[in-house]
Every structure is written in structure tokens, then in C-alpha cells.
Amino acid sequence: MSIVTDHLPDTLAQQAIVAWEHVIERASPAQAQALEDAAAGLPPGQLATVLACSPFAADLSRRKPAMLLDLLTDGSLQQSLAEDAFCQQLRAALAIPDVELGPALRRFRQRHMLRIVWRDFCRLADTLETVRDTSLLAEACIDIALTHTQVALEQRFGRPIGRISGQPQRLIVLAMGKLGARELNVSSDIDLIFAFPEAGYTDGEKRQISNEEFFTKVGQGLITALDQLTPEGFVFRVDMRLRPYGESGALVHNFNALEEYYQDQGRDWERYALIKARPVSGEPQVAEQLMQSLQPFIYRRYVDFGVIESLRGMKHMISAEVRRRGLQDNVKLGHGGIREVEFIAQCFQLIRGGRDLGLQQRELLAVLEECVVLGCLPRDVVDELRAAYLFLRDSEHAIQGYQDKQTQELPVDAIPQQAMAQVMGFDSWSAYREVLDGHRQRVSHHFSELIAPPEEEQAAEETLDNSGLWGDDMDAEALSELGYADAEQSLRLLQDLRGSTRVVSLQAEGRERLDQFMPLLLRACSEVEQPDLSLQRVLPLVISVVRRSAYLVLLMENPPALAELVSLCWASPWIAEQMSRHPALLDEFLDRASLYTAPDKQVLQRELAQEVARLATDDLEAQMDALRYFKASQVLRVAASEIAGRLPLMKVSDN
């Protein structure tokens, strides 16, 4: 018997021995001897670990001893694969005469899932290699199945031709979620969206159909090739619910229709979903056109505090779902789970990704590192989140690799618990749970701290009487009580603002935000020496941003920033004018220490180099925008430092 079980507890050791006996029994005599020889040459403990801790791998090996023998002898269990190896191997498998697409895809998936689970459970691959290989496996299956499906349909209907370009078309498959970021777990479904470049018709000689009808057939064929359950199983479960209009919407959309939908009807959760979207088929330059058209919807060009309320709502739904569904023992969806780490990173992407281009990445760990660079999160917090994320993903793979089931629930029976502890490197289930609970507590703490409801400020606001300050009933007496000396004049300014075309034509959300903001602004102005003058100087900024109400939310969410803005505008008409011309500078008020510190030349050079390094070298417009913002923000910091008395007059011109 060539299976080493010394490192395993008795129960798991016996499970491994029985599984190996079943493999040998099902093999032919020649295969059995070859399997014994190959197993004897393995590093000690690998074979027993996999057979004991993954009934999925044990059953697959028993049913397909030739597949196991091939993996044991070709060396692929002991080494990483190149990125293009998956597509090359699948093309070679399909090049065999008379081979059918469906069975070939399923055999290919079985072979690589056995390899991926083996390498993960034996810690031959780290977490990132496991998710990368699973993603590359899915991408190869999508690409090859799509090509076969479209070629078959073109033989019936001809090639789909774009009405404007006159060029042949190919379906663009957008991989969403973890597949988009190449972070797929070992037993995951895949979220997809289908798109094609242009409307038009096929050029078939006997029958022509519209491009939409053609690509609908392609999409249906692709889903069937991957998702259909056969005696050989399935390849990947396909989820299309993230497409426009969800399950009730068309299966495919052309680029113009997609862009129009997201700009007119797209919701914040769809922005959240598209952060990781990545084309996995089609011509690269055509796919890039699609991504460029979606970019303005995903990432606003400014710091988007307007999305905070939506994120707060999503966060509340996450917490409520854990309680409602009893998900405490779910390593993905439970408190302190994988989803909460993802939410933390993606919040910063939605809020700041439009201006801080380094956040426009798909990989979670890369985004967390960028949060440190930008000062969004402290180094120690990101280190804790990273360690927890990797531990949780390893746990997820140990759960799913046990029986190849799409679950993230911790096992409740003793043997699966023992197997999971073994894979995770612990002597006992209790030792594993202790470390797991520590990671989850830290993640849960950081999650609860993120965009927490400003309870203290809300409680204070509820005790204030804002009647007469804004709205139909606003009057001079209420302003006088706040300390406005020329209340009648200030009232006229407010009435002019409220009756202006910009305000009258606001959508409901913008009007609601303005109604919440104005009393806060009036009270902030009352805190300086000349409230009337301060209000007069700040109102042009309000007018300039009223249609981009995310700026109002920024100030509502950050009362100290509003106070600093009012104070500086009262002290300097020049700053007030600059703010109305460049509202994006409001972001500078979020960091008071930075606002009142004029950097020296070396710091300026370093900061500018970092800003430019994040931009595409061929994007001249983005580079010019970055330079303009950088110049304006630094001048603001110099002016603020002078007003605050932190910069002597002789140093102002130097800076």
C-alpha cells in the first residue's frame, strides 16, 4: 500500500485508505500498478490528505482512475500552469475527431477541478493561485464554447454584420463579480452579461435574422453548453440576473442599448456590481469600447459622496440578512465574512474611484493596498483585512472542495469538521474556530465603522428647530434669531436661490438633498462674525453644485468640512470664487491637517508624480485634468494656510 497516512487522525486516515482501495479496485490491472507506482513517487502525505479531506476528489478518482493516473504522471499536480495553458489544453481536447463539445467541457472541468483542489488542499498553491486557476478554467470554457456555438450558428444563418461598420460581430461576454476579478472560488456559479456591438442582420444566403436574434441564440447555446446538468455533471452554473432588467430583460443587448440603460435607469447597486466587470471574449479593442462607454456610470468624475446613502442602505441589508437567514456560520455572508471585506473595498471605489484612478482595479487586495496609499484606511487595518480575507477564502475552498458544493456554511458533523481543520493546518476544530472567530471579529468591527450613521449629528439636528430657515415658510425673523444682521437681504438671496431655474428643475432626490443641506449651511454661516457676508459668498458654490448634489452630501456627511468651508469663504472672497469655479476642491476640506499645510517642493514633486503615475500614458485629457486639479488644490492649501496664520506673508509667494 503506497499511501502515507501518518499525519492524519485515525478517522481521516481510515477514510483515505478506503478511498484508495476503491480507486485501485476500479482500475484495470495495468492502471492499478501504474497508480501504485505513481503514488509511491509523490511527496509523503499528499494523496492521503486529498482522499481523506475531499470526498469529491476521492469519488472522481474512483470513477476515473485514468484521469488520476494522467495527473499523477504528467507533473501538473506539482507545478503552476501558465495563463494560456487552459485554452491550449481545451483546444487540443476538442481537436480529437468526433469529440462532442458538452462531454469534452465536462471532462476538462473535472480534470482541472481535481488538480486545483489537490494543489489547494496540499498547500502547493496559495489562495491567489487557486482563485486565478479556477477563473482561468471558467474563461477557457466560456471562450471555447462560445466560439463553437457561434461557428455552428453562422453555418445556418451567416455572419452577424454591423449595420454601420459593415464588420462581422462577435458576442462580448462580460464576466461579473469574482470571475471578473479572477477571484472565483472552487465551486462557484458565474455571473455574466451578454453584449454585441451593433444592430444589423446576418449575411446568410438562405435565411437572415437580426443580430439580436442571432446573439440571443448564441447566448442560449453558451448557457446550455456550460450549465446543463448531464450524466457527466455540469461545467459552471451560469447566472444572468445582473443583466439590464434582470430575468425579465432581453438576454443580449447592443452597446448603445446597454449604455442608454445604465445612464438612464442604472442604480447604485448596479454600479457596485459593475466594478469588477471584465470582458472575457471578443476582439480586445471592441471590448474596450464597451468598457469605456460604461466607465462614466461606474465611476463619477468627482468624489461621489452622493452614493453614501445607497451604500448605507446596502450595508443595513447585509446585516439584516445575516439576522433573518441565520447566517452566523457562513464564512461569506455571515458577520465578519468575505462579503464584508469586499464591501469595505468597493465602498471606497464607488466614492473615490472617479478621481483616484488607482482605485479602478478589480482585484480586492490591490484595492485595499491603494486605500493605504490614498489614506482611506490605515496600514494596520488593511493588514488585518488582508489576513482575514485570505483565511476566509481558504476556509471557503476547504468547505467547497469537500464535496464540490456551492456552500459557504461551516460543517456541523465531526468528520467534515476534522477534514476542514486538517486542510487549514490545525490540530482540532476548536483551534481552527478560535482563529476564524478572531478574524471575523476584526472584519466585523471594521465593517461596522464604515459609513456608520452619524447618530450624534442626527440626534443634534432633531433637537433643532429649522422652521423658517428654508422652504415655503422661511422668514427673516428666523434668520435674525440665528444672528444674521441684514436678515431681509439674506432672505432675498435665499428666495432667489429657491426660485432659480436650477433649483425649480431639480429631480426629487436633488431637491431632498438641498432641503436637508440649507438649514445646516445657514447655521454654519451663523457661527462666523458676519453671517450675511459668509452666506453671500458661499451661495454661488451652492448654485454651481446644486445639480451635482453629491457635493452637498459630502458636506452634510462631514460637518467639520462645512464649518471650514464657511469660515474660509467668509475670510477670503478669492477662496469663495475658486470654490464656485472648482467644486471638486471640496474634497480637500475632508483632511484639515492637509488643508492647512503648504507642502515643500519635494513633497509637491512626490505627490504630483503619484497622481500622474496612476494615469494612462496616452490619456492626455486625464493628465491635463489631473494637473489642473493639482495646481488648484495646492493654491487653495497655500491660501488657507495664510488665512489661518500658519504661513508668513513672505512664504506665500514662495509657495
Predicted confidence (pLDDT) per residue in 386-425, tens digit: 999 999 999 999 999 999 999 999 999 999 999 999 999 9
Cβ–Cβ under 8 Å, residues 365 and 389 = yes
Length of the chain: 655
Beta strand pairing call for 160-162 and 200-202: antiparallel
**Three-state SS for 506?**
coil
Q: Kindly report which listed range (85-99, 381-395, 509-523, 607-621) carries the lowest average pLDDT score.
A: 607-621
Q: Between the CA of residue 279 and those of 89, 289, 318, what are the distances in Å?
A: 21, 11, 28
Strands (E), 176-324: 190-196, 200-202, 238-239, 252-254, 278-279
Give alpha helix (H) positions in 408-507: 414-423, 429-449, 455-463, 476-482, 487-499, 501-504
**pLDDT-derived band at 654, boundaries 50, 70, 90:** low
Q: Give pLDDT, residue 577.
A: 86
Tell me the mean pLDDT in the region 166-179. Answer: 95
* % of the chain exceeding 70 in pLDDT: 89
Q: Using CA atoms, how far apart are residues 421 and 53, in angstroms rounded to an integer?
A: 9
Cell numbers placing 223? 448557457
As a whole number of angstroms, the distance between CA 186 and CA 472 comes to 59
| pLDDT per residue as tens digits for the range 578-632 | 888 888 777 777 665 666 666 667 777 777 776 666 666 667 776 777 777 777 6
pLDDT band at 307 (very low <50, low <70, confident <90, very high): confident
pTM beyond cutoff 0.85: no
C-beta separation of 327 from 291 below 8 A: no
**113 or 545: which leads in pLDDT:** 113
The rounded distance, in Å, linking the Cα atoms of 582 and 545 is: 10
By C-alpha distance, which of 589, 535, 597, 538 is closest to 564? 589
Closest CA to 294 of 321, 317, 262, 249: 262
At 78, the amino acid letter reads Q
What is the pLDDT at residue 304?
67
Q: Is the pLDDT of residue 134 over 90?
A: yes
Q: Residue 583 and residue 302: Cα distance in Å, rounded?
A: 9
**Rounded Cα–Cα distance for residues 2 and 348 (Å):** 53
pLDDT at 652 exceeding the cut of 50: no
Percent of the chain clearing pLDDT 90 (strictly above): 58
Give the pLDDT of residue 462.
46
